[in-house]
């Protein structure tokens, strides 16, 4: 199996069996976003305690890229400090525009090929933008407690 096939399999796996696709019992932050270009929609919930992402869940609908990316993101940030989760979102978005990531991206690297399709970059970054919105501390993020 070549690298491209492995990446394709990873994306299909996360789309068909998404991780953390569920509502949280006690979220502390949440944000929802819509990609008006294609109709992809995501709602991300986080339980943050003492600066650590204790739990994360998402729901929504959209293309395989947006749903797989959300699944991969939730796996990557669970148990991480908020600062690391936000840094991962920034590095991933830069990665899709050709900037090498200084941190390991894990399964998110499977989305490398999306950069060849600018209209799909918005799909791949939808959950990451929702994460930034939820953790921004601004009025845009939906504070739940």
| Three-state DSSP class for residue 111 | helix
pTM of the predicted structure, to 2 decimals: 0.91
pLDDT in tens, 81-105: 999 999 999 999 999 999 999 999 9
CATH topology of domain 3-143: Sufe protein. Chain: A (3.90.1010)
* Domain regions of the chain by residue span: 3-143
> What is the DSSP track for 28-60?
SEEEEEE-TTT--EEEEEEEEETTEEEEEEEEE
pLDDT, averaged across the chain: 92
């Amino acid at each position: 199996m070549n690298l491209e096939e492995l990446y394709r399999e990873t994306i299909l796996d996360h789309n068909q069996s998404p991780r953390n696709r569920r509502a949280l019992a006690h979220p502390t932050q949440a944000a929802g976003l819509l990609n008006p270009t294609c109709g992809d929609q995501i709602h991300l919930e986080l339980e943050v305690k003492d600066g650590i992402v204790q739990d994360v869940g998402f729901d929504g609908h959209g293309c395989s890229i947006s749903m797989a990316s959300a699944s991969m993101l939730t796996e990557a940030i669970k148990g991480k400090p908020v600062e690391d989760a936000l840094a991962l979102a920034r590095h991933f978005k830069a990665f899709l525009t050709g900037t090498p990531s200084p941190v390991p991206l894990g399964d998110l690297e499977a989305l490398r090929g999306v950069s060849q399709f600018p209209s799909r970059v918005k799909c791949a970054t939808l959950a990451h933008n929702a994460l930034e919105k939820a953790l921004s501390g601004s009025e845009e993020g939906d504070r739940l407690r």
